[in-house]
Structure 1
Amino acid sequence: MPIGDRWQLLREGAPLGDIVVDGADFPWLDGRFVPRAGFAEVKPWFDESAAFVDAEDHEAFERAYDRIDGALALASPSGPVAEFLLHIRGDRASWRWSDEPFDEV
């Protein structure tokens, strides 16, 4: 992904925030997150999932992330992606994505 590309976090088609790519470490992208109206409602979901990542509680993270995965979408400059894993901490985002669903482990 080229530096400067703009991605969007969506809920029911409405943008909740923009992410501007400023780095990458395959398979992860990194960027500056700019929240929009409505993000405050889902911000606690990201805070909770981040706390479980920090605690290395993988099962709790998966349960918490299911809410994000079920309610939100991520769109690349080319359009919505099929699957993604997104972390937002303050004004920073890191994510990986796929045009195909991730393999179940």
Structure 2
Amino acid sequence: MGFVGEVWRLVRQEELLGEIVIGEADFPWLYGRFVPTEAFGEVKPWFDESRALLDAEEYDRFDKAYDRIADALSLVAPEGPVAEFLLHIKDGRAWFRWNDEPFDED
């Protein structure tokens, strides 16, 4: 799969929040440089909180915090929006996994 060099977009409805330039693919994760727009500042605290909860191994609280991201934002591949994603953004880097169908809730 030729993900390296692709540009994925993080959006809220039609508003571009940032772009991820893929630099590495290690299935199922993609890694890249995150280039935020000014609008990203409004949702950056959501990513900071979810990452802090994950680092603290507060998994139940992480799930609830991440739901806000998943419910309000979309990840758009070069081919179009993906159905489900798990995205982390920190210090200008992004890493994520995605699926064309929703993840299992089990």
Q: Same fold (TM over 0.5)?
A: yes
| Alignment match, 1:34 | 35
Please show how residues 84-103 of structure 1 align to structure 2 within 5 Å. 84-103=85-104
Secondary structure of the residue aligned to 1:33 is strand
Alpha-carbon distance between aligned partners in 1 of 2:88 and 2:17, rounded to the nearest angstrom: 14
Runs of 4+ with deviation above 3 angstroms: none
Unaligned runs of 5+ residues in structure 1 are none
TM-score normalised by length of structure 2 = 0.96
**Which amino acid in structure 2 is aligned with residue 96 of structure 1?**
R
Unaligned runs of 5+ residues in structure 2 are none
Please show how residues 1-105 of structure 1 align to structure 2 within 5 Å. 1-105=2-106
Alpha-carbon distance between aligned partners in 2 of 1:58 and 1:26, rounded to the nearest angstrom: 22
Q: How many residues align?
A: 105
How far residue 24 of structure 1 moved from its aligned partner, in angstroms, is: 1.6
TM-score normalised by length of structure 1 = 0.97
Residue-by-residue CA offset, 1:6-65 (whole Å, 9 max, x unaligned)? 000000121100000001211010000000121000000000000011101100100100
How far residue 3 of structure 1 moved from its aligned partner, in angstroms, is: 0.8
